[in-house]
């Protein structure tokens, strides 16, 4: 019987509108690497923030070494030997490595003996081959190095249980190799690790056991030796499709979007799209499935003109719009429902009306080239609100006060009203309640029936199956396969999402 | 600053002690700063708005309570105490080391603040809380407590500045006697890139220009006095422009979360 160093029992955490964790049970054995696997938004970070004392759970208990633990803040967690390395590093850029280590050290006296601390940092750095100099300022370090500073911070304080929240998401493949060696070395030195990831290759390589979360619930815990990528993919995305929305038979029209061997870089300058080729036709919904971070966001940006491609071509109805401005692309009939409602989709502090007219404030009848006709603007907004049943406190109130569902309806209404040829929608229902979700999906189907080409990018496989006519799977910046909905099996899609082209490897 | 100036002045007159007056001025500044702290830390309001409101409030309340004190003088002189030896250094000796107690206090304060900021755990906490509150919180630093404490401390110092003005420098009370000097202090902080050692250099430059205008007027220059009076404020503008450009291009200076409120469970 292995010793159980951490046990979470029935942990529940609610945020306004979502239950991020619903009665979660989880156990970490001494000396193991236990992976938390799950899609974005599954509740992994929330659960670990609870263990680390950043959030207070609404229910449930935490046991450390078999004893009930009350963790009110990260300092409590640290006192129990728990150290968390966050997805977004908790480092102060302008301070040195040493100063970041000292930050919050209970043992440290008022005057900081820099020599002694630096010596200890060097010892840790050498033991795990981290190669970190205590006097460097954080902003001078690469992301990989910063992560190692985080590791030093926790080890310095004597952590024996390390939580690593998606540590590999920001690393290059080489850095991932090195960090896996570091993790193994830590296990060797008697530490236990909770590793968070949604990359199946890595999970299968580094874990001893794997717990899969979905929609805030534990789907199951499996031993690495007794599972496969296929099984994990299925657990992660869900086996059962609840229902399929009723829809008219597919009436495919002419080709609207063509992406030809498109390549592009992400914000860090690393390749994110590695030759993407596909078409979307008028009158169909093309669902692009994939585990998050495989290039979906970048793809939506290059199609809508928000990011440059490094090579390849994009056509809208035979017109080459590669690297054209967003304005020109919109002019060609592309409209966009971005993944981030409040950052990209809306201007949070402007009113509902201002947001509603964002696409047409500069042309008649709302504008006469010099002034905005507010009567027209108000009428137009009124019409949108009525037609799409958007609940708005007051038209003049900042749009950020709307609920998520109503914001999304507003964005969709605004974009659809431009009569697009191509509608690019990304995560259209993420975080929405059932009612709003259904309404948005129905609107998308309506657009399809009207002959619009709809590109639906979603991590919610249920959603993709529910409304798509064809499904493409993107993996590491390439489309691994495209299937018609009639031939699509969830299992096969799951495998493709895991990067496995061949059925027999399951 | 203006609150410290008035209440320091009143207390000094009542107790007939510049030192007690100074102390009360500091405490008055500290108390006023707590209004700002409550609005910007607890209520997470906008610091610029809160700061501006507090300035107007300070001018208003001192106008009200200062009615009876206008043009009264503080008559107890605070004499310079030359530092033996140092004050004999040619040129800089009399400038730096033939001063009163409060000026020496400011030297000590600068060194002490520099030491605290860069050599102690407390200082690391202070800087971390201003640069990246979430990181500091995750490391177990009490973000709000730290912010309250140092806001109070800042209030004490602003009050001290005001009290010095009415008890030693002027020494009398006039409505709005600070004449926007507090704003110069803000520019000074930017100029000094948040380092006390640079701040004192900057303070001498600003102070020098301020007194230069008096010297020139006394010497009977033909430059209109209104133009001369403008100098410190003009310099303030130039400094802020220059410092902003420098700060942009280097990773120093402005704290990353200057004016940003913090809430733990907010994304
Ligand atoms: N501070 C917060 N306030 C409101 N909602 C939150 C907060 N943190 C997380 N959530 C929500 O809780 C859910 C789970 O999020 P998270 O734990 O970050 O997932 P994961 O780490 O698995 O991607 C998501 O729906 C997310 O939007
Ligand atoms: Mg997360």
CA-nearest of A33, A45, A153, A177 to A101 is A153
Q: What spacing in Å lies between the alpha carbon of A437 and ligand 2's midpoint?
A: 23
Mutation choice for A interface testing from B123, B130, B140 by most A CBs within 10 A: B140
Task: Tell me, rounded to whole angstroms, the distance of Cα B153 from its chain centroid.
Answer: 11
pLDDT for residue A368: 86
**pLDDT confidence tier of residue A321, bands split at 50, 70 and 90:** very high
Cα–Cα distance between A408 and A339 in angstroms, integer? 10
Cβ atoms of residues A106 and A134 within 8 Å: no
Count other Cβ atoms within 10 Å, centred on residue A17. Answer: 11
3-state secondary structure at position A281: strand
Closest residue by CA, ligand 1 atom 9: A46
Residues of A with CB below 8 A from B132's CB? 90-93
Residues 6+ apart with CB under 8 A from A191: A31, A159, A160, A161, A162
Count other Cβ atoms within 10 Å, centred on residue B172. Answer: 17
For the CA of A13, the closest atom of ligand 1 is 12
CA-nearest of B61, B55, B65 to B10 is B65
Cα–Cα distance between A34 and A25 in angstroms, integer? 13
pLDDT one-digit tens code per residue, A374-413: 999 999 999 999 998 888 877 788 898 888 888 999 999 9
| Contact A46 CB / ligand 1 (< 6 Å) | yes
Options 3.90.420.10, 3.10.129.10, 3.40.50.300, 3.10.180.10; CATH of A4-237: 3.40.50.300
* Ramachandran class of B91: left when φ > 0, alpha when ψ lies in -120 to 50, beta otherwise: left
Predicted complex ipTM: 0.81
Residues of A with CB below 8 A from B264's CB? 54
pLDDT for residue B266: 60
Count other Cβ atoms within 10 Å, centred on residue A100. Answer: 28
> For residue A298, what is the enclosing H or E element?
helix A296-304
Mutation choice for A interface testing from B115, B118, B121 by most A CBs within 10 A: B121
Cα–Cα distance between A484 and A501 in angstroms, integer? 16
Residues 6+ apart with CB under 8 A from B176: B2, B59, B62, B63
Provide CATH code, domain A255-505: 3.40.50.300
pLDDT at residue A309 greater than cutoff 50: yes
pTM: 0.70
CA-nearest of A233, A273, A202, A240 to A503 is A233
Please give the average per-residue pLDDT across A307-322, as a whole number.
94
Please give the average per-residue pLDDT across B101-130, as a whole number.
93
Cα–Cα distance between A404 and A392 in angstroms, integer? 12
Cα–Cα distance between A43 and A55 in angstroms, integer? 12
Residue ranges per structural domain of chain A = 4-237, 255-505
Tell me the pairing of strands A67-69 and B98-99: unpaired
Count other Cβ atoms within 10 Å, centred on residue A248. Answer: 10
Closest residue by CA, ligand 1 atom 2: B267
- pLDDT above 90 as % of chain A: 62
CA-nearest of A459, A489, A497, A411 to A287 is A459
* Same CATH fold assignment for domains A4-237 and A255-505: yes
Cβ atoms of residues A448 and A283 within 8 Å: yes
- Of the two residues B249 and A54, the one the predictor is more confident about is A54
Residue ranges per structural domain of chain B = 180-253
CA-nearest of A488, A395, A389, A388 to A447 is A388
CA-nearest of A389, A367, A385 to A376 is A367
pLDDT one-digit tens code per residue, B37-64: 999 999 999 999 999 999 999 999 999 9
């Amino acid at each position: 019987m292995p010793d159980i160093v951490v046990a979470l029992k029935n942990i529940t955490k609610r945020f306004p509108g979502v239950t991020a964790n619903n009665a979660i049970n989880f156990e970490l054995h001494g000396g193991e690497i236990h992976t938390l696997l799950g899609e974005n938004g599954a509740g992994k970070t929330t659960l670990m923030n609870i263990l680390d004392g950043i959030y207070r759970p609404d229910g449930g208990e935490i046991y450390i070494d078999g004893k009930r633990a009350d963790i009110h803040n990260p300092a409590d967690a640290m006192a129990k030997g728990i150290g968390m390395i966050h997805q977004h590093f908790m480092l102060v850029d302008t301070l040195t490595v040493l100063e970041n280590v000292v930050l919050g050290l209970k043992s440290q006296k008022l005057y900081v003996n820099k020599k002694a601390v630096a010596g200890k940092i060097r010892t840790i750095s050498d033991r795990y081959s981290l190669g970190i100099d205590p006097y460097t300022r954080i902003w001078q370090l690469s992301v990989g190095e910063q992560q190692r500073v985080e590791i030093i911070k926790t080890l310095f304080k004597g952590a024996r249980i390390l939580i690593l929240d998606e540590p590999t998401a920001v690393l290059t493949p080489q850095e991932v190799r090195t960090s896996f060696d570091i993790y193994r070395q830590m296990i060797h030195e008697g530490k236990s690790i909770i590793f968070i990831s949604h990359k199946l290759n890595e999970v299968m390589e580094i874990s001893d056991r794997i717990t899969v979360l979905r929609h805030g619930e534990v789907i199951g815990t499996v031993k690495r030796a007794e599972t496969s990528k296929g099984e994990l993919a299925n657990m992660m995305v869900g086996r059962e499709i609840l229902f399929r929305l009723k829809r008219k038979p597919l009436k495919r029209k002419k080709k609207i979007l063509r992406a030809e061997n498109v390549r592009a870089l992400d914000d860090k300058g690393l390749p994110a799209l590695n030759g993407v080729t596909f078409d979307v036709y008028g009158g169909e919904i093309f669902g692009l499935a994939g585990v998050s971070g495989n290039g979906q966001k970048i793809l939506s940006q290059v199609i809508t003109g928000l990011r440059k491609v490094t090579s390849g071509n994009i056509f809208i109805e035979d017109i080459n719009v590669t690297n054209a401005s967003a304005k020109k692309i919109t002019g060609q009939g592309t409209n966009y429902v971005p993944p981030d409602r409040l950052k990209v989709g809306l201007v949070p502090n402007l009113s509902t009306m201002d947001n509603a007219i964002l696409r047409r404030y500069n042309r008649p009848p709302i504008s006469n080239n010099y002034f905005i006709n507010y009567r027209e603007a108000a009428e137009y907004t009124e019409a949108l609100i009525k037609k799409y049943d958007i609940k708005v406190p007051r038209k003049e109130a900042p749009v950020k006060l709307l609920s998520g569902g109503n914001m999304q309806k507003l964005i969709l209404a605004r974009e659809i009203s431009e009569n697009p040829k191509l509608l690019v929608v990304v995560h259209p229902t993420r975080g929405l309640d059932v009612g709003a979700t259904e309404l948005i999906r129905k609107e998308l189907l309506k657009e399809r029936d009207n002959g619009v080409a709809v590109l639906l990018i979603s991590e919610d496989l249920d959603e993709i199956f529910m409304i798509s006519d064809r499904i493409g799977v993107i993996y590491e910046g390439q489309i691994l396969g495209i299937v018609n909905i009639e031939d699509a099996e969830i299992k096969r899609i799951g495998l493709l999402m895991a990067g496995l082209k061949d059925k027999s490897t399951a | 600053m203006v609150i410290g100036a008035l209440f320091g002045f009143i207390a000094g007159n009542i107790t007939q002690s510049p030192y007690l007056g100074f102390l009360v001025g500091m405490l008055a500044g500290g108390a006023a700063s707590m209004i700002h702290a409550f609005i910007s830390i607890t209520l997470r309001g906008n610091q610029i708005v809160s700061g501006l409101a507090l300035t107007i409030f300070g001018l208003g309340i001192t106008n009200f309570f200062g009615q009876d004190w206008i043009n009264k003088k503080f008559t107890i002189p605070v004499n310079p105490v030359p530092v033996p030896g140092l004050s004999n250094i040619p040129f800089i000796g009399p400038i730096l080391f033939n001063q009163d107690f409060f000026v020496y206090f400011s030297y000590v304060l600068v060194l002490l603040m520099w030491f605290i900021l860069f050599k102690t755990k407390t200082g690391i906490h202070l800087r971390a809380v201003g640069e990246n509150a979430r990181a500091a919180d995750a490391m177990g630093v009490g973000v709000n407590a730290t912010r309250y404490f140092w806001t109070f401390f800042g209030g004490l110092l602003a009050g001290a500045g005001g009290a010095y003005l009415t008890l030693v420098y002027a020494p009398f009370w006039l409505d709005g006697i600070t004449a926007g000097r507090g704003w110069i202090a803000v520019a000074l902080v930017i100029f000094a890139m948040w380092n006390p050692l640079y701040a004192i250099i900057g303070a001498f430059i600003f102070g020098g220009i301020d007194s230069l205008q008096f010297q020139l007027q006394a010497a009977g220059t033909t430059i209109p006095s209104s133009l001369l009076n403008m100098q410190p404020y003009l310099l303030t503008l130039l400094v802020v422009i220059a410092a902003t450009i420098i700060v942009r291009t280097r990773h120093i200076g402005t704290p990353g979360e200057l004016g940003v409120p913090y809430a733990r469970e907010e994304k």
